[in-house]
């Protein structure tokens, strides 16, 4: 950490001595005030529910400038990565800090491809779920269960174990998601084919059946690969922070990633693309474009809980750069599939245009996020909405594991232990049952 000449001074109105706090500079982005010794010096905690002003760690992986609408993985803009690299190159970049050269790419691809099968016993574990279980319930269980199947790479303090479990997780997530899907639709599992690309293999495991030859559509393969790149990491979001906090206890990597999967499930986070698509269906059902005005009215009504799903972001106060790339992919996919006039896509574009010109959204800096178009893309590929969040989890696994490994390798790493402002009862005595 680079110290700044600048220091912060905290003074108190009750005459208690003021405290000087060091300030550190990042390579880009806001400086941070180091409050680690604050409690020892003042007997006070800071209060910041929702981490509105708190940097919980130092990291060199992903940087977001929310005002500019910029997203960088290891310094590279997301637009350049999405246009010039594939998902496995992006995974290599996130894990090791640099883009691979040709040999490194070939070795890494071979390594991931040779770990795509899961322990055969996992399918019997999976078969214990109800057929109508939500795929995220299945994924939380399956990823956690990996700690029982891959115990030889479960020591988080061993760098070799960390590397092997990273590869295992990246390689096996598509297999597990596809198995969860096949199970819920009652079709036989399709084993991975290692000669296919990462996205191509996933498409095949999802949609191939033993009775028909399956040919990967290159446009859909490219679209899915881009979806994976756009979702690969997003610095200290809720699920990543969950993975870090869970992993900080020294638990095994599979358990920590399962915690991330559980967190991602929520509609304010990974569940938003499913919610955004359902919102479009609802508007469509009620009359389509004509009903947008009425819907926007509901969204703006303080007494309603309706939100424009796929809009707004804690960090982006500008257009989410991933949303633009996803809209481009949406166009490509729909054109390839002959769905250029898809009413849902038209509805989404009109809704976006109206919201972007509306004072309510403009004044609150609410712009489309990546989820606004990703549901339409996935639906066109044939992926059911209930699987959207599981596919997001698949793509984000590399980010989670890169962040977890970065934390464990950091010499300043400590178990995460937030404090609280206690507002409950002070000490009191238990009365015998008859006197309460």
**376: contact with ligand ACO by CB under 6 A:** no
Please say whether the dihedral angle defined by the alpha carbons of residues 57, 60, 66 and 68, taken in this order, is positive or negative: positive
Output 39 or 51, the one with its CB closest to ligand ACO: 51
Query: CA neighbours within 13 Å on the CB side: how many for 264?
Result: 34
Question: Minimum Å distance from CB 369 to ligand ACO?
Answer: 4
Taking CB under 6 A as the binding criterion, the range among 19-27, 139-147, 151-159, 308-316 that sits at the site for ligand ACO is 308-316
Local structure of residue 339 (DSSP, 8 states): -
Question: Minimum Å distance from CB 304 to ligand ACO?
Answer: 10
Question: Minimum Å distance from CB 192 to ligand ACO?
Answer: 27
Please give the Cα distance from 288 to 291 (Å, whole number).
6
| Under 8 Å between Cβ of 181 and 206 | yes
Please give the Cα distance from 165 to 163 (Å, whole number).
6
SS3 category, 293 = helix
Output 109 or 374, the one with its CB closest to ligand ACO: 374
Output 263 or 408, the one with its CB closest to ligand ACO: 263
| Under 8 Å between Cβ of 297 and 265 | no
Question: Minimum Å distance from CB 368 to ligand ACO?
Answer: 9
Taking CB under 6 A as the binding criterion, the range among 26-34, 204-212, 279-287, 311-319 that sits at the site for ligand ACO is 311-319
For residue 208, report the phi and psi dihedrals to the nearest 5 degrees: -75, 145
Output 176 or 370, the one with its CB closest to ligand ACO: 370
Helix H or strand E segment including 10: strand 2-10
Question: Minimum Å distance from CB 270 to ligand ACO?
Answer: 6
Q: How many residues bind ligand ACO (CB under 6 A)?
A: 18
DSSP letters of 312-329? --SS-SS--HHHHHHHHH
Taking CB under 6 A as the binding criterion, the range among 53-61, 117-125, 305-313, 377-385 that sits at the site for ligand ACO is 305-313
For residue 22, report the phi and psi dihedrals to the nearest 5 degrees: -70, 155
**Which of 309, 354, 349, 312 has the alpha carbon at shortest distance from 327?**
349
Taking CB under 6 A as the binding criterion, the range among 138-146, 156-164, 215-223, 306-314 that sits at the site for ligand ACO is 306-314
Output 69 or 100, the one with its CB closest to ligand ACO: 69
If 0-12 CB within 10 Å is exposed, 13-18 middle and 19+ buried, where does residue 110 land?
A: exposed
Question: Minimum Å distance from CB 370 to ligand ACO?
Answer: 5
For residue 151, report the phi and psi dihedrals to the nearest 5 degrees: -70, -20
Which residue is at the shortest CB distance from ligand ACO?
312
The alpha carbons of the chain give a radius of gyration, in whole angstroms, of 24
| Under 8 Å between Cβ of 20 and 7 | yes
**371: contact with ligand ACO by CB under 6 A:** yes
Output 167 or 272, the one with its CB closest to ligand ACO: 272
**192: contact with ligand ACO by CB under 6 A:** no
CB atoms within 10 A of CB 251: 15
| Under 8 Å between Cβ of 62 and 399 | yes
For residue 169, report the phi and psi dihedrals to the nearest 5 degrees: -65, -45
Output 105 or 324, the one with its CB closest to ligand ACO: 324
Catalytic residue status for 371: yes
170, 279, 308, 383: which one contacts ligand ACO (CB under 6 A)? 308
Catalytic residue status for 157: no
- β partners of residue 22: 7
268, 294, 340, 409: which one contacts ligand ACO (CB under 6 A)? 268
Taking CB under 6 A as the binding criterion, the range among 89-97, 148-156, 328-336, 366-374 that sits at the site for ligand ACO is 366-374
Question: Minimum Å distance from CB 162 to ligand ACO?
Answer: 26
Q: Distance between alpha carbon 118 and the CA centroid of its chain, in Å?
A: 23
226, 313, 379, 396: which one contacts ligand ACO (CB under 6 A)? 313
**135: contact with ligand ACO by CB under 6 A:** no
Please give the Cα distance from 280 to 260 (Å, whole number).
28
Helix H or strand E segment including 71: strand 70-73
**324: contact with ligand ACO by CB under 6 A:** no
105, 269, 317, 349: which one contacts ligand ACO (CB under 6 A)? 269
**310: contact with ligand ACO by CB under 6 A:** yes
Residues forming contacts to ligand ACO in the complex (CB under 6 A) are 268-270, 272, 299, 307-314, 364, 366, 369-371
Q: Enumerate the active-site residues.
A: 313, 371
């Amino acid at each position: 950490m680079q110290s700044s000449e600048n220091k912060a001074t905290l003074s108190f109105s009750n005459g208690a001595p003021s405290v000087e706090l060091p300030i550190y500079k990042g390579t880009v982005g806001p400086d941070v005030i180091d409050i680690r010794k604050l409690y020892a010096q003042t007997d006070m905690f800071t209060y910041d529910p929702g981490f509105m002003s708190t940097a919980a760690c130092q990291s060199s992986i992903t940087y977001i400038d929310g005002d500019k609408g910029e997203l960088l993985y290891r310094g590279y803009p997301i637009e350049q990565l999405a246009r010039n690299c594939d998902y496995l190159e992006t995974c290599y970049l996130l894990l090791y800090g640099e883009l691979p050269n040709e040999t490194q790419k070939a070795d890494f691809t071979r390594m991931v491809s040779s770990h795509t099968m899961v322990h055969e016993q996992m399918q019997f574990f999976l078969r214990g779920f109800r057929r109508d279980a939500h795929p995220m319930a299945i994924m939380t269980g399956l990823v956690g269960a990996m700690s029982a199947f891959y115990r030889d790479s479960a020591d988080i303090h061993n760098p070799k174990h960390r590397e092997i479990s990273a590869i295992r997780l990246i390689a096996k997530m598509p297999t597990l998601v596809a198995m969860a899907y096949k199970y819920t639709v009652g079709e036989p599992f399709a084993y991975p084919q290692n000669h296919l690309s990462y996205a191509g293999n996933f498409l095949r495991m999802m949609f191939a059946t033993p009775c028909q030859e399956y040919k990967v559509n290159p446009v859909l393969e490219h679209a899915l690969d881009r979806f994976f790149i756009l979702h690969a990491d997003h610095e200290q979001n809720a699920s990543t922070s969950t993975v870090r906090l869970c992993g900080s206890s020294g638990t095994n990597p599979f358990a920590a990633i399962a915690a991330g999967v559980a967190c991602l499930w929520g509609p304010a986070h990974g569940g938003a693309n499913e919610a955004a698509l359902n919102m479009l269906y609802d508007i469509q059902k009620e009359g389509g474009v004509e009903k947008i005005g009425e819907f926007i009215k509901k969204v703006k009504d303080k007494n309603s809980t309706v939100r424009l799903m796929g809009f707004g972001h804690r960090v982006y106060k500008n257009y989410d750069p991933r949303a633009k790339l996803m809209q481009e992919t949406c166009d490509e996919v729909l054109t390839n599939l002959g769905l250029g006039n898809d009413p849902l896509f038209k509805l989404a574009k009109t809704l976006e245009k109206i919201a972007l010109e509306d004072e309510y959204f403009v004044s609150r800096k609410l712009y489309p996020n990546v989820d606004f178009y990703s549901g339409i893309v996935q639906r066109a590929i044939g992926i059911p909405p209930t699987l959207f969040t599981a596919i997001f989890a698949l793509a984000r696994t590399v980010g989670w594991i890169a962040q977890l490994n970065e934390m464990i390798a950091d010499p300043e790493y400590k178990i995460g232990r937030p404090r609280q402002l206690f507002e409950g009862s002070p000490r009191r005595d238990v009365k015998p049952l008859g006197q309460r």
